[in-house]
Amino acid sequence: MGSVVVFFILLFIYTKFAGPIQFSINNLNRETAVPFEVAGKGRIAAAPDTALINLGITKNASTVLDAQNNANQISIKILDALKKLGIEEKKIKTTNYSVSPNYDFSQPTQRITGYTISQNFEVKAPIEKVNNIVDSATSNGANLVGGIDFALDDKKLEELRNQARKEAVDKAKADALGLANAAGIRLGKIINIRESFGGEIQPPVVLREAVGGDVQKEETNITPGETSVEVTVTLTYETF
């Protein structure tokens, strides 16, 4: 306590004879960092290398057992034909198997006239085998073919995403620099990055019901076109 009193006494004596103590501010920073966002979009296209093919069988019979036997015989033929084309069993998946009664509605009292068996497969295969798979399946009894989707394998997809990312970042940086120069803004460091994925949605190839016999004589010719990978990158800068 005594030291504090002595300090103020000495300060009073100093200011009494030497005048007030001078204080100065060498620098006053009036600049405030304001976030600045700009987005860039990158898009890379490539031919798909994988196809998901949906095949189906529908069979009618007077009894459930007869309908099942008919459908099973055809499904065995289709699966054997696919294996001969080099399609592994693990690439063939049953996606639907249903049994439904058929009714006669022409009479006041509904009457079951038979049964319908429906069985659907999804086949994952390389693009170059799509046409052969469709032709082989229909020639062996598949009477429903539709919804062929094209895709990229995981490794190729990630490679294209990285290319699209770089393109998006380069565009975002160029746009940020141009806008900042036009507006008289000084850019600082990048403080945040966001990305979102999109792409060109390809409508699936839909084929009509395959009727077999002599009606379908021409070979299947399905072309996958291109699949695009799209990435949008948003950069957030400090500005001054």
CATH assignment at residue 140: 3.30.70.2970
As a residue count, the chain comes to 240
Q: What is the pLDDT of residues 90-111, one digit of tens each?
A: 999 999 999 999 999 888 888 8
The more confidently predicted of residues 31 and 113 is 113
* Run of H or E residues at 123: strand 111-126
Task: Please check whether residue 140 is in contact with residue 77, taking contact to mean a CB–CB distance below 8 angstroms.
Answer: yes
In single-letter form, the type of residue at position 45 comes to A
**Dihedral angle, C-alpha 123, 124, 129, 135, nearest 10 °:** 10
Q: What is the pLDDT of residues 183-202, one digit of tens each?
A: 999 999 999 999 998 755 45
176 and 138 in one domain?
A: no
Distance of alpha carbon 74 from alpha carbon 59, whole angstroms:
10
User: Could you tell me what percent of the chain has a pLDDT over 70?
Assistant: 78
Structural domain includes residue 166: yes
CA-nearest of 149, 191, 200 to 41 is 200
176 and 140 in one domain?
A: no
CATH number at residue 42: 3.30.110.170
Task: Find the domain containing 54 and state its range.
Answer: 50-151
Q: What is the pLDDT of residue 6?
A: 56
161 and 141 in one domain?
A: no
Structural domain includes residue 65: yes
**Dihedral angle, C-alpha 229, 230, 233, 234, nearest 10 °:** -160
HEC-encoded secondary structure of 37-82 = EEEEEEEEEECCCEEEEEEEEEEEECCHHHHHHHHHHHHHHHHHHH
Task: Please check whether residue 234 is in contact with residue 168, taking contact to mean a CB–CB distance below 8 angstroms.
Answer: no
CA distances from 171 to 74, 101, 219 (A): 55, 60, 45
Distance of alpha carbon 214 from alpha carbon 210, whole angstroms:
11
Q: What is the pLDDT of residue 213?
A: 41
- Residue 56's DSSP bridge partners are 120, 144
Q: What is the pLDDT of residues 193-229, one digit of tens each?
A: 999 987 554 544 544 444 444 434 467 777 777 888 9
